[in-house]
Amino acid sequence: MTSPVAPGAMAGLRVIDLTRVLGGPYCTQILADHGADVIKVEPPAGDEVRDWGPPFHEEDAAYFVGVNRNKRSIGLDLASEGGRAVLMKMLEGADVLIENFKPGTLDKWGIGNDLLRAKFPRLVHCRISGFGADGPRGGNPGYDAIIQAMTGMIKATGSPQSGPMRIGVPVVDITTGLYAAIGILMALSERQRSGLGQFLETTLYETGLAVMHPHAANYFMHGRPPQLTGNEHPNLVPYAIFQTRTDDIFIGVGNDGTFRKLAKEIGKPELGTDPRFARNKDRIANRDALRAELAAVFSQHEAGPLCDRLLAAGLPAGPVQSIDQALTSAHTVYRGDVIEKDWYKGVASPIRLERSKPSLRRTPPKFSQHTKEVLSEFGYSEGEIETMIAKGAVCGPTRRR
């Protein structure tokens, strides 16, 4: 995984990336891992998540490092006429423009979608925003935790004892980036037929609603919002954490046959035919009684050997691990899920194509590290580049705080 075996599936694609923070950079790292030439255009102050630490590597936070590999960085002041002129020059050979400015910002700068469509008819223009440009919340800023709160995630997460809780990973930002990547690939596929690019949008708000499954589907069916069930599943039992003699494990059962198999494997076959537990709807009605039965059995076992035995039997079970345990587990190591280059270490792309393999070609860039390299590719002379840096349209290696 650390060196390319063959060109990635996105080789030959040029992406101009104006995004910052998480959703957009996560999207463009997906494309970059698979061979796209991603040019990260940063404002003079840089992507603010460079400061979201500790920990840091040479003043760049792990938060930035984790979503910006395989990219080149150039600093541009797009509020200046000179900076915008450079951007327009870069777009001449680009396939994709992705940005997460507040809706209307590019229009204010005179480079809105109508102009982009007229000048670059094959360009796919992707915007990520909090709520979109219109509607009662149109143009409002969006942040992961705020969207979690507004779309029902927080009210569906936690236990009666803890109360509502934020999900511990920025699931809205990351999933918005995934939807953006999917949308870009859809637009590129359609371009093969029509010859034309198009504008596409993903918003944090719509993403938040879209991933609220099964809670949204349940609500449409019975009209009731979800209750706080902790680690329990609203639609499946057993589907929860259980204590063993050593560590916690998670058991997830998706159908009645699997439950009967689980009951037999743990030496309690009678649970599989008990009328209280025989069907999933019965187990939901009697979840507390079933939990007590299972807890009594699991408490007699060690977590690791028990999970190994259940998994080997084709049953869904796993140890509740911390991130350090997950990243160093035997399966992670065997699958090559951690990649390294020089000082950098990260999680490999989970998209594994047979021929067009992902690769780690570049470590995450320093601010404006590739300005001269990139601009020379677009025909600017060294003197022209130095002049633009002196005027402030283009940035040198130092961020403007």
Which domains are assigned to the chain? 14-211+338-391 (3.40.50.10540), 239-327 (3.30.1540.10)
| pLDDT score for 6 | 66
**Is-contact 49 61, C-beta < 8 A?**
yes
| pLDDT score for 7 | 84
Burial of 108 (0-12, 13-18, 19+ CB in 10 A): exposed
Output the CA angle 361-365-367, nearest 5 degrees: 165
| pLDDT score for 5 | 52
| pLDDT score for 281 | 96
User: CB within 8 A of 208, min separation 6: which ones?
Assistant: 147, 148, 150, 151, 153, 172
| pLDDT score for 229 | 87
Phi, psi of 209 (to 5 degrees): -65, -40
In whole angstroms, give the CA distance from residue 385 to residue 394: 8
Q: Which two tokens stand for residue 53?
A: 């630490």
In whole angstroms, give the CA distance from residue 314 to residue 330: 19
DSSP secondary structure letter of residue 102? P
| pLDDT score for 2 | 45
Burial of 136 (0-12, 13-18, 19+ CB in 10 A): exposed
Q: Which two tokens stand for residue 279?
A: 């069907």
In whole angstroms, give the CA distance from residue 358 to residue 348: 8
- Catalogue the active-site residues: 173
CA-CA-CA-CA torsion sign (328, 333, 337, 338): positive
Low-confidence ranges of the chain (pLDDT < 50): 1-4
Using one digit for the tens of pLDDT, what is the confidence trace for 202-226?
A: 999 999 999 999 999 999 999 999 9
pTM over 0.95: no
